[in-house]
A and B are shown apart, each in its own frame.
Chain A
Amino acid sequence: DIQMTQSPSTLSASVGDRVTITCRASQSISSWLAWYQQKPGKAPKLLIYKASSLESGVPSRFSGSGSGTEFTLTISSLQPDDFATYYCQQYNSYAGTFGQGTKVEIK
């Protein structure tokens, strides 16, 4: 199984900050990496797919990069609506495993 490891687990930031979350895969997944945002009591929302492609309707302050085993999600200027938990997910192989999540909190 491919394991996905995110860092940090929790991130404290202020509105307007630039935020970066890292995701590492236990083996190469090429660019088959997605990022989701989840708010309390809600389903995850797809933000980015194929490592860097922005899902329709997602604000351009979100961006993704990386390939192989190392990936990043960047929020260029954190907005109040962005405080949430973010998950990376590989969809290169069966079961499409998720990272453990990164909670972005208000500083």
Chain B
Amino acid sequence: QVQLQESGPGLVKPSQTLSLTCTVSGGSISSGGYYWSWIRQHPGKGLEWIGYIYYSGSTYYNPSLKSRVTISVDTSKNQFSLKLSSVTAADTAVYYCARSPHDYGDYLFDYWGQGTLVTVSS
């Protein structure tokens, strides 16, 4: 059973960089066949895909966030990470990591982490 777990600071100051890591267990990122995504949910709102990475390091970002987003992968640790720069209060959200099976659709999310709330405030 694949499990994903987000970790990182719960509070970030405006204009700084939000950094989160997702640790995958029960399966290897480097085995291929899956995209590894970050998704966020603003308080009481809907879901927004941020971007994904393949084990090879190939990335694809939501155009609305592309200028501020970097996703990276560390296959030796079975982790992938999110950096979102120049954050504002509008970036306050629950951030999820999730997996997409490549053969079923790049954006079909079959396993999710439990989510972590990141608040942007001074």
Interface residues of A (CB under 8 A from B): 32, 34, 36, 42-46, 49-50, 55, 87, 89, 91, 94-101
**Count of chain A to chain B residue pairs whose CB atoms are closer than 8 Å in the complex:** 55
Interface of B (DSSP majority class): loop
Given A87-B47, A94-B60, A98-B46, do A44 and B112 touch, yes or no (CB 8 Å)? yes
Q: How far is the CA of A11 from the CA of B110 in the complex (A)?
A: 26
Partner of A96, one of B107, B113, B114, B115: B107
Residue of B nearest to A34 (CB): B108
Interface of A is mostly: loop
Query: B interface vs A, CB < 8 Å?
Result: 46-49, 60, 62-63, 96, 98, 104-110, 112-115
A49 to B48, CA, bound (A): 18
Asked if A44 and B107 sit within 8 Å, CB to CB, the answer is no
Q: What are 6 A-B pairs with beta-carbon distances under 8 A?
A: A42-B114, A91-B107, A95-B107, A96-B105, A96-B108, A99-B46
